[in-house]
Amino acid sequence: MGTGIAQAFLQSGFDVVLVGRSEESAKKGLDLMNAGISKAIAKGSLKESDRNNMLSRLKVTNKYDAISGSALVIEAVSEILESKISVLRECEKYAKGSLIATNTSSISITLLANSLANPEMFIGMHFFNPVPVMKPVEIITGEKTSQKATELAFKFSEMCDKTPIKVKDYPGFVANSILMPMLNEAILLLEKNVATKEGIDAIVKLGLRHPMGPLELADFIGLDVCLDITNSIYKATKDEKYKPERLLVEMVEQKKLGKKIGEGFYKY
């Protein structure tokens, strides 16, 4: 998601700093971004000449001090509360006065804000995958988010050619509150041999007119990411419909994490 968000802002003419947690992960970010740009060129939405232009406005680093002076900082690390808090605190240290946003899928904005020195300038901006293509951004305010921060989040989303939509600080917000029980149900149906994985996906695509089947979509999101999101919503709501299915837990334990590693419900 980090590289997708960076690509979308580069495409809209922004200067972007992409911070990885190590030199290796920063380099992986650059490779992923180049692959994303190649995909957009192949589809005709970008030209080869756009690549150089975009990459000339990109800085890739593992040093947080590179974000100082940025108007907007977006955190997109794993959906783990402790990781997000430690990364957000680092961001606050170096980007004083900037709007700091989290791309969390499910964690409370007020809860994250409670660990920060300037909760007024902190907000949720939940982008959708793949970011360069998908239009909506869920904008989630915490109890202390200022009006100025909210207006800036809307403005930056629109400048990045997105459609910002205000959403309450509720576990999973709108998208994942709806999506996670559906993915869980599809995994349960597979576990119970109600149909094959291809059958489940085909019925949802053809019968419910979804562009992707739920098992393909879970692979695309990342099964570890799905597990973290549904666990986080389950912890916050105690609602059984968010309790992760056994098969999902087992697949993550077996490191079958989906498309990003070449194997999930399907092989890639």
Ligand X SMILES: NC(=O)c1ccc[n+]([C@@H]2O[C@H](COP(=O)([O-])OP(=O)(O)OC[C@H]3O[C@@H](n4cnc5c(N)ncnc54)[C@H](O)[C@@H]3O)[C@@H](O)[C@H]2O)c1
Residues catalogued as catalytic: 105, 126, 138, 176
Q: Judging by DSSP bridges, how do beta strands 99-102 and 16-19 pair with one another?
A: unpaired
- Distance of alpha carbon 32 from alpha carbon 95, whole angstroms: 25
Site for ligand X in 187-226 (CB under 6 A): 221-222, 225
Which listed residue (15, 21, 114, 161) binds ligand X by CB under 6 A?
21
Interacting span for ligand X (CB under 6 A) from 83-91, 112-120, 158-166, 247-255: 83-91
Minimum gap (Å) between residue 147 Cβ and ligand X: 25
DSSP 8-state symbol, 242 = G
Residue 157 binds to ligand X (criterion: CB under 6 A)? no
Residue 172 binds to ligand X (criterion: CB under 6 A)? no
CB 122 within 8 A of CB 145: yes
CB 20 within 8 A of CB 64: no
Locate all alpha helices (DSSP H) within the chain, ordered by sequence. 2-11, 23-43, 48-56, 81-94, 109-113, 147-159, 175-191, 197-208, 214-221, 223-237, 246-253
Which listed residue (7, 70, 98, 104) binds ligand X by CB under 6 A?
104
- Distance of alpha carbon 127 from alpha carbon 188, whole angstroms: 27
Residue 101 binds to ligand X (criterion: CB under 6 A)? no
Interacting span for ligand X (CB under 6 A) from 36-44, 102-110, 159-167, 178-186: 102-110
Q: Which residues bind ligand X (CB under 6 A)?
A: 1-2, 21, 25, 76-79, 83, 86-87, 103-105, 126-127, 129, 221-222, 225, 229, 260
